[in-house]
Amino acid sequence: MGDNVVVSNMELERLLSMKGGKGEGSYANNSQAQAIHAKSMHHLLKEALDGVQLQAPNIPFVVVDLGCSCGINTINVVDLIIKHIIKRYEALGLDPPEFSAFFSDLPSNDFNTLFQLLPPLANYGVSMEECLAANNHRSYFAAGVPGSFYRRLFPARFIDVFHSAFSLHWLSQVPESVLDKRSSAHNKGRVFIHGASEITANAYKKQFQTDLATFLSSRAVELKRGGSMFLVCLGRTSVDPTDQGGAGLLFGTHFQDAWDDLVQEGLISGEKRDSFNIPVYAPSLQDFREVVEADGSFAINKLEVFKGGSPLVVNQPDDDGEVGRALANSCRSVSGVLVDAHIGDKLSEELFMRVERRATSHGKELLEQLQFFHIVASLSFAL
């Protein structure tokens, strides 16, 4: 892209994706922390799956991962879900049904990389037991569904299990008031809401709650009666929305300072920086609960804050350089596409070099302080 492209809110859906491909800054190579955090919540996912109503074996069982991105994590979680459901059928002495899995994300997602990671389909002419015994094969039909999960994606009463991890904190847009220089919510001098004014943070909160409400209303149509949703997103323990916890440390410290460096060095204008904001909001439990209860379609089976740990996975914790690279690559894997679109590839490279340099000088501190908390929600239809 050019060096002076301004990304409007209307374009966010078209552009937003995790960094594709298999390079050093790609999501596929920087999502190990997500895998570790997801694994630590498998027992909660299995609890949710135990509550799913099983259909007759002649009716296909349908699983969806919303916000699947392009790494191996989505394939692993779908595999876990289907194997757990198969065990439930077998425990009842029933033959398992056929399974379909839909991998859904925005159209800009690197579905090609994802599909290359999919194991081949086991031969459906043999028994399900033989399918499961076939190493490196999958026991389900797979398809990609491009589109925003803040709208309808599937036919009514079509899905048995919705799963979404580490996605719902991404907003459908940066609130317009945050980018409006005439607004009291204008986030001047910042690229994220961590440490911003209360008015700015409340604009983000309102956008999050509006988005979550549309998400729930869409899923309420698509989910089968007796189905279940298991949702995980970044969360926070503070009641103060200007304290974004781990997300704040990721985007509100060295990332923020690197943008300021570009301004001070005359590489970009202050206005250019101010017109970029990370469209992420880490909600509190109360923020999340208010929306579910106002919607009224779903019963809350579980809603809690879960400590996920550090987003940085390093081999040598004492190597500040490795920690710095890990932080820069973590930032780049989730925000790099938006940064590239806003300031161009060359300046984006300059920005993340500065993120790495700044993070390297605070390596030990980052490993100790940068901790993610997640909102974990298990929902099913209210009676």
The C-alpha atoms of residue 336 and residue 285 are separated, in whole angstroms, by 29
Highest averaged pLDDT of the listed ranges 63-77, 84-98, 134-148: 84-98
Tokens found for residue 211: 């988005």
**Fold annotation for 27-237+278-310+372-381:** Rossmann fold (3.40.50)
Beta strand 372-381 pairing with 298-309: antiparallel
Q: What is the pLDDT of residue 18?
A: 46
pLDDT range class, residue 4, cuts 50, 70, 90: very low
Q: Is the pLDDT of residue 93 over 70?
A: yes
Of 69, 65, 227, 79, which Cα lies nearest the Cα of 139? 79
Q: What is the pLDDT of residue 9?
A: 46
Q: Got the DSSP string for 207-227?
A: HHHHHHHHHHHHHHHHEEEEE
Mean pLDDT of 327-335: 85
Higher pLDDT, 69 or 54: 54
What pLDDT digit, counting tens, does each position of 202-251 carry? 999 999 999 999 999 999 999 999 999 999 999 999 999 999 988 888 88
The C-alpha atoms of residue 219 and residue 229 are separated, in whole angstroms, by 9
Tokens found for residue 128: 């399900």
Tokens found for residue 63: 């699983």
Of 58, 44, 146, 132, which Cα lies nearest the Cα of 95? 58
**Ramachandran class of 298: left when φ > 0, alpha when ψ lies in -120 to 50, beta otherwise:** beta
What's the whole-model pTM score? 0.87
- Domain definitions of the chain by residue range: 27-237+278-310+372-381
Burial 116-141 (b: 16+ CB within 10 A, else e): eebeeebeeeeebeebbebeeebbbe
Mean pLDDT of 177-181: 91
Q: What is the pLDDT of residue 347?
A: 94
Mean pLDDT of 78-103: 95
Which of 13-27, 171-185, 189-203 shows the lowest per-residue confidence on average (mean pLDDT)?
Answer: 13-27
What pLDDT digit, counting tens, does each position of 337-364 carry? 889 989 998 999 999 999 999 989 888 8
- Assess contact for 271 and 234: CB atoms under 8 A: no
Mean pLDDT of 171-185: 92
Q: How many CA atoms lie within 13 A of 151 on its CB side?
A: 8
- Assess contact for 77 and 38: CB atoms under 8 A: yes
If one counts every other C-beta atom within 10 angstroms of the C-beta of residue 80, the result is 17
- Contacts of residue 101, defined as CB under 8 A and 6 or more positions apart, other chains included, come to 62, 63, 64, 65, 78, 82, 140, 141, 142, 143
The C-alpha atoms of residue 300 and residue 122 are separated, in whole angstroms, by 36
